[in-house]
Amino acid sequence: MPDSIENFLSKIPQKIGQYEVVEKIGEGGMGIVFRAMDTLEKRVVAIKVLKRNLAPNTEAIQRFHREIQMSQAMNHPNVLPILDVGVDQECHYYVMPFIEGKNLEEILKKEKLTIPLSCHIAFQVALALSHAHKKGIIHRDIKPSNIMITEQHVYVADFGLARPEWAARLTMTGTLLGTPAYMSPEQALGLAYIDHRADIYSLGITLYEMLTGSVPFRSANLSHILEQILYETPLPPKIVNPGIPDSLNSIILKALQKKPQDRYSDIDEMAEQLRLYLRGLPVLGEPTKFFYWGKYKNLLRYAGIFIISALLSFFLCYFFSCKRHGPKIFPVFFHEGPNTFSYVVSYPSSEFIFKKPMEIFLEENKSSK
């Protein structure tokens, strides 16, 4: 039975291990983050306490600790380090430096980032991922809320924490928290074996959102979003934001390929392309060729409506004309009155056909005077 958030919060002790809880900073799928005081080291830290209902069995807990230990092996300026991990009064927690900044999700809600700044952030994330991948660690959950940004720095948080993909996104009341919008197709399929290319995809989605203001696949309906991730071609970012240069458009589309083997083979390759772009150098490699029908959707729709209406009008006029004057070889549109046009179509002769209607009209008027 899922615990309510109030109930869970009330059970959090004031002191966890050597950390004095100060205030709640935020809540994610996996746990609740608090600002805390490290009483031994005399520093401010962030402590993330696992939600109990997500760590129900010893196997999950062992896995959590194992993976935290693995991620402690990382040492990179763009990786938010894990300072400590432990369990106290049934609270499983890990400790990180407290970041005086914002996460990218909060930033994107308030402002639009410039193209160079977006690329710079993506490049820093790619450097963090490159370090992790070389150590055999896959992030698996690259998304704006896991990217912390200060005035000077970009940090990637929550590295390599395995979690049941969907359980992790359920709040304690069992409702869906966040969206699977950043999830790669192979994760959406629930494949057991996920490799580093899943992170490449998620970084591609994050960069897409920074540049366009929205993710390519969105829906309030979970199964619909999964369906889009698996089968739909994303709208090229350049179509959403025409200011995006072709080279950057190609980098994103390459990262967003459905099949992992069609993406960049490793994150260094993607980082290199972003670096070249940031330096104003030509982006190497094959630009991703795509033909996006959606681009012409409206044009095709209007052309179709126009052709159908024209045909319909033609047949209606022809039908009424035949009814009134009997069938003719040439269609009669306007029969009554000295209409210039009607001469041309009603009584076709070489003379009328090759003369301009206005000339005929003027000529007639002249002769009748």
Q: Which is nearer to ligand ATP, 156 or 274 (CB)?
A: 156
Say how many residues touch ligand ATP, by CB under 6 A. 20
In 3D, which of 56, 53, 9, 52 has the Cα closest to residue 34? 9
Smallest distance from the beta carbon of 269 to ligand ATP, in angstroms? Answer: 26
| Choice from 16, 17, 19, 28 touching Mg ion (CB under 5 A) | 28
Residues 125-164 as x/- pattern, contact with Mg ion by CB under 5 A? ---------------------x-----------x------
| Choice from 37, 96, 225, 248 touching ligand ATP (CB under 6 A) | 96
Residue 25 lies near ligand ATP (rule: CB under 6 A)? yes
Instruction: Find out whether 19 and 47 touch, Cβ atoms under 8 Å.
Output: yes
| Choice from 3, 20, 27, 266 touching ligand ATP (CB under 6 A) | 27
DSSP SS3 for 163: coil
Subset of 318-357 contacting Mg ion (CB under 5 A): none
Q: Which of 3, 38, 84, 141 is catalytic?
A: 141
The stretch among 22-30, 196-204, 284-292, 325-333 that binds Mg ion (CB under 5 A) is 22-30
Active-site residue flag, 262? no
Q: Which is nearer to ligand ATP, 29 or 204 (CB)?
A: 29
- Element holding 34 (H helix, E strand): strand 31-38
Range 138-168 burial, b when 16+ CB lie within 10 A, else e? bbbbbbbbbbbbeeeebbbbbbbbbbebeeb
- Residues in Cβ contact with 206 at an 8 Å cutoff, skipping those fewer than 6 apart: 104, 122, 125, 142, 143, 144, 147, 182
Residue 17 lies near ligand ATP (rule: CB under 6 A)? no
CA 263, 119, 33: angle at the middle one, nearest 5? 90
Residue 46 lies near ligand ATP (rule: CB under 6 A)? yes
DSSP SS3 for 36: strand
Residue 210 token pair:
């920074």
Residue 128 lies near ligand ATP (rule: CB under 6 A)? no
Place of tokens 């959606």: 294
- The total of other beta-carbon atoms located within 10 Å of residue 262's CB is 13
Residue 32 lies near Mg ion (rule: CB under 5 A)? no
Active site residues: 141
The site for ligand ATP (CB under 6 A) is made up of 25-31, 33, 46, 48, 80, 96, 98-99, 103, 141, 145-146, 157-158
